[in-house]
Amino acid sequence: MSDTGREAAYYKWGDPSADQRIEHSWNEVAEYFNSKRETIRSTARKYRALHAGEFTEQDAPHLLSIDGVTAEEHLPDEEDVYRRACAEYEQTRKLYDRKAHQHIDFDSGPVAIVEVADLHAGDIGVDYERAFAEAELIRDTPGMYVITVGDMVNNFIIGTLSQARSGTRLSIPDEWALLRRYLKIIAPKWLLAVGGNHDQWTTMLTGVDYFADLVGQIKSRVIYDSDDVLFTVNVGDWAIPCRARHKWRGNSIYNVTHAIERAAKFDQDFIIGFGAHTHTGGYTRDMNVGGSDGIAVQAGTYKRIDGYARRIGFARPNPSTAVSVVIDAEFHSLTGFNNLQACANYMNYVYE
């Protein structure tokens, strides 16, 4: 058996004393010894195990080459990434340079700028008839224009907020359909759009700013920002720096427009500030901005039945929804209106 095992091992793995080893498959070994494959394999392996020294050289093969995709090839090319990063920065810089010089120009006045926010399309507590009637009023009133300042849809789609939709009877597609209908009405008078936290939940979930996409579909020439817009309204030869954002930093239980006034005091880059978010009602409030007359404009909400506010214990808001400021270049005056119909009546009187 020892001789057979030795011969079978040499035939299988090659004679260690030979200049060039010639190996054979187990089928070839079995055929050569006229034996069963399993039997001759066991015999050869036993011999090899007992005489491992004879086959040491064969058991330590030399690596000749590796040909395949390496880890380095999976990584981005450093120079290519550098070039693209520089190009992205340059594009971003140009975008922000343009944001610092945005303007809306009117040849004459008076001009009424209406702020609409917190429509919350899709919520079953929204007064839709009033919202759409006021949209038509803005569209049909001479000299009256509109900016939208966030939370135009309810959009409960992320995390625990999606559970809050259990009591609603309007779907997410229904919400966006309502908003499209609304925006189509105000489109002829629409100047500017700012996103709100509800609008941005789609971006947070998917990385796609669907609200921005919708704004572009409805009216391409609308100033847009997801967060904060600095812009100048030029009425004749009077330039009025303005700023609009959905939520401002700071609050006061005694002064609804405190956050806007605080920013005007410290930043001094606007004299008309537009805000929303708080659902405390619609307000306009005169303010002093570094010696210039300014005005803080806080939009109300069309969400008139608010289970969340009732549960938390928020104060009941005033009845104002869309609020406005009339810019009169002749007298360099800013006049706020908490009542949209009163502002429309004034503008109709001016241009009748």
Please compute the mean of the pLDDT values over residues 261-284 and round it to a whole number: 94
**Residues 39 and 121 occupy one common structural domain:** no
**How many domains is the chain built from?**
2
What type of residue is 183? L
Q: Are 181 and 218 in contact (CB under 8 A)?
A: no
The confidence score (pLDDT) of residue 23 equals: 81
- Residue at which a domain ends, from 25, 42, 59: 59
**Residues 50 and 176 occupy one common structural domain:** no
Please compute the mean of the pLDDT values over residues 231-254 and round it to a whole number: 95
The confidence score (pLDDT) of residue 8 equals: 85
Who has greater pLDDT, 31 or 238?
Answer: 238
Please determine, for residue 52, whether its predicted confidence score (pLDDT) is greater than 80. no
Domain for residue 81, yes or no?
Answer: no
The confidence score (pLDDT) of residue 1 equals: 46
Q: What pLDDT digit, counting tens, does each position of 297-334 carry?
A: 999 999 998 777 777 777 788 899 999 999 999 999 99
What does 3-30 look like in DSSP terms, one character per residue?
HHHHHHHHHHH--TTSSS-----HHHHH
The confidence score (pLDDT) of residue 45 equals: 87
**Residues 194 and 271 occupy one common structural domain:** yes
**Residues 155 and 293 occupy one common structural domain:** yes
Domain for residue 85, yes or no?
Answer: no
pTM of the predicted model as reported, rounded to 2 decimal places: 0.78
The overall longest dimension of the chain from CA atoms, in Å, is 121
**Residues 174 and 322 occupy one common structural domain:** yes
**Residues 256 and 201 occupy one common structural domain:** yes
Who has greater pLDDT, 62 or 348?
Answer: 348
**Residues 38 and 129 occupy one common structural domain:** no
The confidence score (pLDDT) of residue 9 equals: 84
Domain residue limits at 12: 2-59
Domain for residue 83, yes or no?
Answer: no
Domain for residue 94, yes or no?
Answer: no
Residue 74: C-alpha distances to residues 65, 68, 71, 77 (Å): 20, 12, 5, 9
d(CA 68, CA 70): 6
Domain for residue 76, yes or no?
Answer: no
**Residues 118 and 55 occupy one common structural domain:** no
Beta bridge partners of 52: none
Residue 259: C-alpha distances to residues 16, 75, 252, 290 (Å): 90, 47, 8, 16
Domain for residue 50, yes or no?
Answer: yes
Q: What's the number of CA atoms in the CB half-sphere (13 Å) around residue 102?
A: 22
- Residue at which a domain ends, from 26, 44, 59: 59
- Comparing 54-58, 76-80, 254-258, 310-314, the range with the smallest average pLDDT is 54-58
Who has greater pLDDT, 51 or 267?
Answer: 267
Domain for residue 67, yes or no?
Answer: no
**Residues 44 and 114 occupy one common structural domain:** no
Domain for residue 90, yes or no?
Answer: no
**Residues 8 and 133 occupy one common structural domain:** no
Q: Residue 325 is part of a domain; what is its CATH number? A: 3.60.21.10
**Residues 198 and 295 occupy one common structural domain:** yes
